[in-house]
């Protein structure tokens, strides 16, 4: 198993190198002179020239790239052209918010998606199956924007069960340790803050969970249905194993493999930040951060953002593959 | 019986009025006011910034030598107790209060006043020492202060003297504007590039913290020299989505908000927990045509654009009627506004004819720039751009909409990257110079330009300069009227609307006054029980 993990890790290296090339070239692909973009619109020619030197843009591309890799190795991502803050600090500020939201919505999506999928698979064509199919198609096709505002109006304004937006009441101070508000509130042993943080998290997590939940439900259903048609299931039934056990013990182990892949993929997507959900819920995550960087042509932030998205996607994929191997011993041998 | 009912009604109304009056008279100390708005501040160094979101916060942290009265733009003492001006209008001497300290504890003296203004000198010179600090000082540039101010002299710690190069009618009003705020010299110098994130002024509130993209918190300045604020704290929250912000207000999780979409006005008025304040604003929303980009150098094309835009439909459809059609750049409530301005009527046929005369019978392609988020004078910039895009397409002008986030948008438009650009102006000092010089003088057509039409006319320049140098209002008026007529003739802008100032708040928010200049001053606001 360890050998497999190491092999997979080594395989991820070329992928990550490719990503650094893309992130590096972003600055060069953007319209306009990178030095001028970073210097800001009002900078004098001298300042622009200085920045060109500072950023080594006057050197040949391969050399620049090598130096960029060196910076990355030291954890240097440059400074935002807009806020003048180190990009690393900004990632530290915005990424935890995204991870928190992504994790919460994926947990929700997985739990409900698996339940709905398994229930539907028990009797393909039955009314549970039909209902879950309809709900899943609704979930996939519902505009996030509309759903978000409707839920917000219903559950935060009309019947104020949840707060409207944000991560915590602005007047509440929780010492930042991890950047994850729920975790920080737990660390501070502040029960009120934990409750508030969870309440703030609920609506955006539900909204963000709709699509992955629908996808997970559909995949679970179809792979379970397929698994249920296998010979070993017939054998199990012939032995007199109760139907629920057949489903959970025999079908699930093999049938859920595609679901694991889908969950991993969805998590990877969610980590890139959900721009619409973050905007509606005034959630200060990387989606909004990258969007603002695109709008203000903030090259260093864009570079950092692309890298962040790609690295988290790669790592999640790696984790998925490892989980896969744990579930299906044949994988390791391939 | 009827009389009895009437009596009951009258009594209860009187009671209501009385309880309301009592609430007005018995302010409540303490509490945190949550203020919702669409965007975060760009920076908190008042001389560096030029956008309202930054000023909303700066207005409560910083002060100037003089201030505007609560109800208008007449000038009152603030950090200066008194001032005198020489007979030729060239020497202004200010006596300073001796009991004022910056939030860091340093005393305010004439040297601090001199530093605050002198640091902005030569803002357009590329070698300005603070050039790297988030750009130059745009306001100083807009107002042409380099050409106005000759020297700032510290006579003694309590007296500062300004020597002018030429008499300047709006000079005193300008000193009440944000760019002339007095900043702590020690903090500004020590913090350098970080000063715009760690402001230190003399105002009734002092800075606490700034969570980028989320909120800015300020708190009561306990050592304030003047009227102590009622509120303990104010939090300016950025809630980018209009509907979300309105929901926050409805649910009571913010106390007041601006950037109200006109569609929500009816809902606010109907809601008993909310109130809506409205007053005619001193502002203008406009479409500027970049004369440096063809074909807008051609006056026929510009007039065609003026005739093509249906302003009445815009005022009605996008501002829910809470705006007056602008017939010129100067709002009617500002001194010097033309009393009978002529306007280009909405006439598509005429627009097409003018285009044909200009040599564009088939029309042409161009770009139409707009900001990504709402502004007080433009609550729905993207929809406005789409409406104008459709109006222009109807006469053959095909405009591609280009949009940037606010800070970048201002930067690029000030550098003249656009063909057509939507923008607006909120009065700083209620002087016609503040509307006309900034937008139409040739000296303001240098990046970072306030004159984003890049309109340069010698006669207009002559008039605007004369207007600045003529202190007598009666002699000034005809100068400004002629300038406005020439600007109308040359049509560098389509003036769109003058909007109402609007603020929506929970009923308990008391004491808030809408200022005609759009300032958000919160020291006399309290949360009634």
DSSP letters for B409-453: HHHHHHTT--SEEEEEEE-SSS-HHHHHHHHH-GGG-SSS-S-TT
Confidence of residue A43 (pLDDT cuts 50, 70, 90): low
Instruction: Indicate yes or no: CB of B217 within 8 angstroms of CB of A42.
Output: no
Radius of gyration, CA atoms only, chain A: 24
Which of B136, B247, B415 is opposite residue A157, by nearest beta carbon? B247
Q: Name the interface residues of A facing B (CB cutoff 8 Å).
A: 40-47, 82-85, 90, 93-94, 149, 152-153, 156-157, 160, 163-166, 169-171, 279-282, 284, 288-289, 292, 295-297
Handedness of CA B268, B271, B275, B280 (dihedral sign): positive
Instruction: Indicate yes or no: CB of A41 within 8 angstroms of CB of B411.
Output: yes
Cis (ω within 30 of 0) for the bond into B295? yes
Instruction: Indicate yes or no: CB of A281 within 8 angstroms of CB of B244.
Output: yes
Best B43, B124, B127, B132 residue to mutate vs chain A (most A CBs within 10 Å)? B132
Kindly list the strands in the beta sheet with B149-156, ordered across the sheet, starting from the edge strand earlier in the chain: B80-85, B91-96, B159-164, B149-156
Tokens of B454: 């890049």
**Distance (Å, whole) CA A260 – CA A219:** 10
Tokens of A148: 């978000």
Antiparallel, parallel or unpaired: β B323-325 and B509-510: unpaired
CA distance B306 to chain A (A): 29
Nearest of A101, A94, A80 to residue A144 by alpha carbon: A101
Higher pLDDT, B130 or A18: A18
Query: Around B440, how many Cα atoms within 13 Å sit in the side-chain half-sphere?
Result: 31
Instruction: Please tell me the predicted confidence (pLDDT) of residue A32.
Output: 65
A113 within 8 A of A220, measured Cβ to Cβ: yes
Instruction: Please tell me the predicted confidence (pLDDT) of residue A225.
Output: 87
| Contacts B248 to A, Cβ<8 Å | 164-165
Which of A90, A152, A289 is opposite residue B244, by nearest beta carbon? A152
Which of A82, A165, A296 is opposite residue B239, by nearest beta carbon? A165
Distances (CA, A) of B155 to A215, A217, B64, B92, B291: 76, 79, 19, 12, 46
Question: Is a pLDDT exceeding 60 seen at residue A27?
Answer: yes
* Torsions phi, psi for B328 (to 5 deg): -160, 180
Helix/strand/coil for B257: strand
Residue B129 DSSP one-character state: T
Instruction: Indicate yes or no: CB of B131 within 8 angstroms of CB of A44.
Output: yes
Instruction: Please tell me the predicted confidence (pLDDT) of residue B7.
Output: 38
**How far is it between the farthest Cα atoms of chain A?**
84
Reading chain B (529 residues) residue by residue, the pLDDT tens digits are: 333 333 333 333 333 333 444 445 689 999 999 999 988 888 899 988 877 899 999 999 999 999 998 877 788 999 999 999 998 889 999 999 999 999 999 999 999 999 999 888 865 454 444 444 445 677 887 777 888 899 999 999 999 999 999 888 889 989 999 999 999 999 998 988 788 889 999 999 999 999 888 899 999 999 999 999 999 999 999 998 889 999 999 999 999 998 887 778 888 999 999 999 988 888 999 999 999 999 999 999 999 999 999 999 999 989 888 899 999 999 988 888 999 999 999 999 999 999 999 999 999 999 999 998 888 789 889 999 999 999 999 999 999 999 987 878 888 899 999 999 999 998 877 889 989 998 999 998 988 888 999 999 999 999 999 998 887 778 899 999 999 999 999 999 999 999 988 899 999 999 999 988 888 999 999 999 8
**Distance (Å, whole) CA B170 – CA B149:** 12
H-assigned helices in B339-493: 348-357, 381-394, 406-414, 432-440, 458-469, 473-490
Instruction: Indicate yes or no: CB of B126 within 8 angstroms of CB of A288.
Output: no
**Distance (Å, whole) CA A108 – CA B3:** 64
Q: Which domains does chain A have, with CATH numbers?
A: 32-76 (no CATH), 95-327 (1.10.3720.10)
Instruction: Indicate yes or no: CB of A282 within 8 angstroms of CB of B239.
Output: yes
Higher pLDDT, B284 or A322: B284
Instruction: Indicate yes or no: CB of A164 within 8 angstroms of CB of B408.
Output: no
Best B31, B197, B215, B251 residue to mutate vs chain A (most A CBs within 10 Å)? B251
Q: Is the pTM of this model over 0.90?
A: no
Tokens of B98: 């001796």
Instruction: Please tell me the predicted confidence (pLDDT) of residue A142.
Output: 84
**Distance (Å, whole) CA B257 – CA B243:** 12
- CA torsion angle for A203, A207, A212, A213 (degrees, to 10)? 70
Tokens of A140: 């996939």
Which of B211, B248, B404 is opposite residue A165, by nearest beta carbon? B248
Instruction: Indicate yes or no: CB of B214 within 8 angstroms of CB of A166.
Output: yes
Question: Is a pLDDT exceeding 60 seen at residue A140?
Answer: yes
Nearest of B67, B39, B35 to residue B51 by alpha carbon: B39
**Distance (Å, whole) CA A52 – CA B199:** 31
Nearest of B246, B167, B186, B195 to residue B58 by alpha carbon: B195
Q: For chain B, percent helix, then strand, then coil, each to nearest 5?
A: 35, 25, 40
**Distance (Å, whole) CA B357 – CA B97:** 63
Residue B205 pairs in a beta bridge with B220
**Distance (Å, whole) CA A45 – CA A39:** 10
**Within 10 Å of residue A176's Cβ, how many Cβ atoms?**
14
Cis (ω within 30 of 0) for the bond into B448? yes
Instruction: Indicate yes or no: CB of B408 within 8 angstroms of CB of A297.
Output: yes
C-alpha B52 chain-centroid distance: 6
Instruction: Indicate yes or no: CB of A171 within 8 angstroms of CB of B193.
Output: no
| Contacts A296 to B, Cβ<8 Å | 404-405, 407-408
**Distance (Å, whole) CA A298 – CA A292:** 8
Nearest of A290, A277, A305, A262 to residue A206 by alpha carbon: A277
**Cα angle for residues A79, A98, A78 (degrees, 5° grid):** 10
Which residue is associated with the tokens 């955006």? A204
Instruction: Indicate yes or no: CB of A84 within 8 angstroms of CB of B408.
Output: no
Instruction: Please tell me the predicted confidence (pLDDT) of residue A47.
Output: 66
DSSP letters for B260-300: --GGGHHHHHH-TTEEEEEEE-SEEEEEEE-TTSTTTTSHH
**Distance (Å, whole) CA B506 – CA B527:** 9
B25 within 8 A of B31, measured Cβ to Cβ: no
Tokens of B174: 């300008």
Antiparallel, parallel or unpaired: β B256-257 and B493-506: antiparallel
Q: Tens digit of pLDDT for each residue in A208-257?
A: 999 999 999 999 999 888 888 888 888 988 888 888 788 777 888 778 88
**Distance (Å, whole) CA B333 – CA B319:** 19
Least confident piece of the model among A188-197, A319-328, B303-312: A319-328
H or E element, residue B95: strand B91-96
Which of A163, A170, A295 is opposite residue B235, by nearest beta carbon? A170
């Amino acid at each position: 198993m360890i050998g497999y993990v190491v092999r997979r890790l080594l395989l991820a290296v070329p992928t990550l190198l490719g990503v650094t090339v893309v992130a590096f070239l972003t600055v060069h692909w953007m319209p306009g002179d990178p030095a001028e973009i970073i210097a800001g619109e009002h900078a004098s020619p001298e300042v622009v020239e200085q920045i060109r030197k500072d950023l080594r843009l006057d050197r040949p591309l391969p050399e620049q790239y090598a130096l960029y890799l060196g910076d990355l190795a030291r954890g240097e991502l440059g400074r935002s052209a807009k806020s003048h803050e180190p990009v690393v600090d900004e990632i530290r500020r915005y990424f935890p918010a995204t991870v928190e939201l992504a994790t919460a919505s994926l947990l929700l999506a997985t739990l409900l998606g698996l339940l709905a999928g398994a229930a539907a698979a028990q009797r393909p064509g039955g009314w549970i199956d039909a209902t879950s199919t309809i709900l899943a198609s609704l979930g996939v096709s519902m505009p996030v924007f509309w759903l978000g505002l409707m839920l917000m109006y219903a559950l935060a304004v009309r019947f104020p069960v949840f707060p409207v937006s944000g991560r915590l009441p602005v007047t509440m101070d929780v010492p930042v340790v991890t950047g994850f508000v729920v975790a920080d509130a737990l660390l501070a042993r502040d029960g009120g803050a934990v409750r508030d943080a969870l309440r703030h998290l609920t609506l955006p997590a539900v909204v963000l969970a709709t699509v992955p939940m629908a996808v997970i439900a559909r995949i679970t259903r179809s792979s379970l249905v397929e698994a249920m048609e296998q010979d070993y299931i017939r054998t199990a039934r012939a032995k007199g194993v109760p139907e629920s056990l057949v489903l959970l013990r025999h079908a699930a182990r093999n049938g859920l493999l595609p679901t694991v892949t889908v969950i991993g993929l969805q998590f990877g997507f969610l980590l890139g930040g959900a721009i619409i959900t973050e905007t509606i819920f005034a959630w200060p995550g990387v989606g909004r951060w990258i969007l603002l960087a695109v709008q203000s042509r903030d090259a260093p932030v864009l570079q950092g953002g692309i890298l962040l998205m790609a690295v988290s996607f790669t790592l999640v994929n790696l984790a998925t593959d490892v989980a896969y191997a744990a579930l299906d011993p044949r994988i390791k041998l391939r | 019986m009827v009389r009895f009912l009437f009596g009951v009604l009258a009594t209860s109304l009187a009671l209501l009025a009385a309880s309301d009056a009592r609430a007005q008279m018995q302010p409540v100390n303490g509490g945190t006011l949550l203020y919702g708005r669409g965007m975060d501040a760009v920076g908190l160094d008042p001389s560096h910034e030029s956008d309202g979101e930054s000023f909303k916060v700066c207005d409560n942290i910083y002060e100037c030598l003089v201030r505007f009265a609560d109800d208008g733009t007449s000038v009152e003492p603030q950090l200066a107790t008194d001032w005198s001006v020489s007979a030729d209008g060239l020497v202004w001497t200010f006596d300073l209060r001796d009991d004022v300290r910056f939030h860091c504890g340093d005393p305010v003296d004439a040297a601090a006043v001199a530093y605050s203004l002198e640091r902005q000198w030569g803002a357009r010179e590329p070698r300005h020492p603070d050039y790297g600090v988030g750009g130059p000082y745009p306001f100083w540039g807009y107002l042409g202060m380099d050409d106005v101010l000759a020297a700032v002299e510290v006579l003694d710690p309590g007296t500062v003297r300004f020597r002018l190069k030429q008499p300047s009618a709006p000079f005193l009003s300008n000193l009440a504007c944000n760019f002339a705020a007095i900043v702590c010299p020690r903090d500004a110098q020590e913090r350098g590039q970080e000063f715009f994130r760690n402001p230190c002024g003399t105002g009734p509130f002092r800075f606490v913290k700034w969570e980028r993209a989320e909120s800015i918190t300020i708190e009561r300045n306990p050592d304030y020299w003047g009227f102590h604020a009622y509120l303990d704290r104010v939090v300016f929250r950025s809630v980018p989505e209009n509907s979300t912000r309105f929901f926050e207000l409805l649910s009571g999780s913010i106390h007041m908000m601006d950037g109200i979409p006109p569609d929500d006005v009816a809902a606010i008025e109907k809601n008993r927990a909310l109130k809506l304040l409205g007053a005619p604003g001193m502002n203008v929303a406009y479409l500027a045509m970049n004369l440096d980009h063809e074909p807008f150098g051609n006056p026929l094309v510009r007039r065609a654009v003026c005739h093509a835009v249906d302003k009445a439909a815009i005022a009605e459809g996008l501002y829910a009627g809470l705006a007056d059609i602008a017939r010129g750049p100067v709002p009617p409530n500002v001194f010097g506004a033309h009393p009978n301005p002529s306007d280009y009527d909405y006439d598509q046929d005429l627009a097409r004819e003018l285009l044909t005369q200009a040599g564009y019978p088939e029309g042409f392609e161009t770009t139409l720039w707009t900001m990504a988020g709402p502004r007080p004078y433009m609550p729905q910039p993207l929809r406005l751009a789409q409406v104008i895009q459709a109006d222009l397409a109807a006469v053959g002008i095909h405009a591609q909409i280009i949009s940037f986030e606010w800070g970048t948008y201002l930067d690029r438009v000030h550098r003249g990257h656009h063909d057509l650009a939507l923008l607006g102006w909120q009065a700083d000092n209620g002087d016609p110079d503040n509307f006309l010089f900034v937008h139409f003088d040739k000296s303001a057509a240098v990046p970072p330009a306030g004159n984003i039409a890049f309109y340069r006319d010698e006669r207009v320049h002559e008039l605007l300069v004369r207007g600045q140098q003529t202190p007598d209002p009666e002699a000034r008026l005809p100068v400004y009227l002629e300038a406005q007529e020439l600007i109308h003739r040359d049509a560098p802008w389509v003036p769109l609307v003058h909007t109402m100032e609007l603020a929506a708040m929970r009923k308990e928010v008391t004491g808030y006054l809408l200022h005609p200049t759009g300032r958000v001053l919160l020291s006399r606001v309290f949360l009634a029980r």
